Structure 1
Amino acid sequence: MPTLYFSRNPNPRLAVATAKYLGSEIEFVWASPFDPASSERFRKLNPSLRVPILVEDGTTLWEADAIACRLSMSAGSTFWRLDPELPELIRWISWGKANFVHACDMVHFEFGTRQRYGLGPVDPVKVAEGEALFRASAAQLDAHLETRAFLLDSGLSYADFRMATFLPFNAAAGLPLADYPAISRWNDRLSRIPAWADPFAGLAAPELPFVPPRAR
């Protein structure tokens, strides 16, 4: 049986949510590859020591998008489109990682990751850069979602999960989702999908260190 090594951080969460949504027959194993006691073993699976990592038939695959593609193909699902909509799926994954997702990541890193792991004080310059990119990209995304329920006209796809990677962590980041009604409605729809709302249900996975919600 394939094994998915994961943590509760954003990209591993994305991989677990995808596997849960697809009903993938895999073993979920929480991992902490940066722990000195584990690093040498995990370095053989992923030189960067980052999860998620999928181990299947003696081979390893890392990076959440690649894992999602593999799991969707294995499940015979169209969650990762393999039809004429594939370019549209790739467009939103690519655009999101350079724009909306990147902006959310920048701000979350300062108010979430830095505080959670003691990586130093918030960098106000990086926050300002992230918030500026968020406003520009959120306006474009909101306009696109105004006339559709999900990113692709045909309905829910992996592109939606990828675009929303950091939204479950927005209490820490404090980005103004309410200013963008179509994004807020889309996020609510995703939150009603059990696999997205609580991908760790039933799994042994320590909670992330607590960080307080961002004061606005």
Structure 2
Amino acid sequence: MKLYYFDVLNPRKVCALARHLDLPVEFVHVNLGKGEHKTPAFLAMNPNGKVPVLVDGAVTLWESNAILCYLARKAGSDLWPTDARQFEVLRWLMWDATAFAPQAGTLYFEHVIKSRFGMGGPDPGEVQKATQGFLGFAAVLEAHLRGRSYLLGDALSVADFAVAITLPYAQQAQLPLQDFPEIRRWHAQMNTLPAWREPFPDLAEPAGLAEAI
């Protein structure tokens, strides 16, 4: 298997899971600064021109949450459950993609990506809007985590790898977590996983194109 990545949010979660499951994955760094994500060869794998992409024999898969589920199934892992809990996982993946991640991801973009790639300072309007949105959705997550070790209760799942993805950058992205002790506790628990702390196989090179994020 080959996993094409760059050290930003969505590739981070699939790299972390692949390493956590100790899968025989060849990590292929895509140099976004050189436009490698826009070459004909890469676009043939993912017409969106974005990372991550997984290639496993005849299977080529893009979209990070789909890759999470594929890798867990490939490993025979219960992180992608086959019983009724699968619907719970799907619920949290969809909630994250449509609600939580857009708010947290905007703060990550404004405070981390712009600074990293010389794109100017944060847009105060975008920051204010995303902060308010984040607070609302974080309250939902906080309430759900009370009395639960992970999103599905006592069982770690791919949903945790997806929903927690901005939390390693909480300080840099200025995520307002001070009033959410359960979210902080949950992420501290994720940080006990070596692959979560160190998901990337090596240091990626700087990129220059925000559209690739």
- Calculate the TM-score normalised by the size of structure 1: 0.89
Output the CA distance in 1 between the equivalents of 2:20 and 2:160: 13
- How far off is 1:117 after superposition? 1.6
- Contact in 1 for aligned 2:33/2:206 (Cα 8 Å): no
- How far off is 1:7 after superposition? 1.0
Where relative contact order (Cα < 8 A, 6+ residues apart) is larger, the structure is: 2
1:75–1:117 CA distance, 2 compared to 1 (3 A): same
1:89–1:38 CA distance, 2 compared to 1 (3 A): closer
- How far off is 1:137 after superposition? 0.9
SS of the residue corresponding to residue 4 of structure 1 reads strand
The equivalent of 2:171 in structure 1 is: 171
CA offset digits 1:66-113 (Å, max 9, x no partner): 111111111111111221101111111111222222211011111111
Aligned AA (2:21): L
Output the CA distance in 2 between the equivalents of 1:35 and 1:58: 27
The equivalent of 1:61 in structure 2 is: 61
SS of the residue corresponding to residue 18 of structure 2 reads helix
The equivalent of 2:74 in structure 1 is: 74
Output the CA distance in 2 between the equivalents of 1:208 and 1:184: 29
CA offset digits 1:151-197 (Å, max 9, x no partner): 10241111111111111112221112232111110010001111111
- Contact in 1 for aligned 2:21/2:75 (Cα 8 Å): yes
- Calculate the TM-score normalised by the size of structure 2: 0.90
- Contact in 2 for aligned 1:101/1:164 (Cα 8 Å): no
- Contact in 1 for aligned 2:108/2:173 (Cα 8 Å): yes
| 1:114 and 2:105 aligned | no
Aligned AA (1:187): H
Moved more, 142-151 or 111-120: 111-120
Output the CA distance in 2 between the equivalents of 1:192 and 1:127: 30
The equivalent of 1:213 in structure 2 is: none
1:5–1:148 CA distance, 2 compared to 1 (3 A): same
- Contact in 2 for aligned 1:7/1:52 (Cα 8 Å): yes
Output the CA distance in 2 between the equivalents of 1:95 and 1:37: 31
Output the CA distance in 2 between the equivalents of 1:144 and 1:96: 13
Q: State the aligned residue count.
A: 206
- Contact in 2 for aligned 1:93/1:159 (Cα 8 Å): yes
| 1:8 and 2:7 aligned | yes
Unaligned runs of 5+ in 1: 210-216
Output the CA distance in 1 between the equivalents of 2:183 and 2:202: 32
After superposition, residues 1-216 of structure 1 pair within 5 angstroms as: 2-33=1-32, 35-36=34-35, 39-40=38-39, 41-200=41-200, 203-206=201-204
Report the RMSD for the aligned CA atoms in angstroms. Answer: 1.7
Unaligned runs of 5+ in 2: 208-213
- How far off is 1:47 after superposition? 1.4
Output the CA distance in 1 between the equivalents of 2:35 and 2:173: 29
SS of the residue corresponding to residue 170 of structure 2 reads helix
Output the CA distance in 2 between the equivalents of 1:66 and 1:94: 11
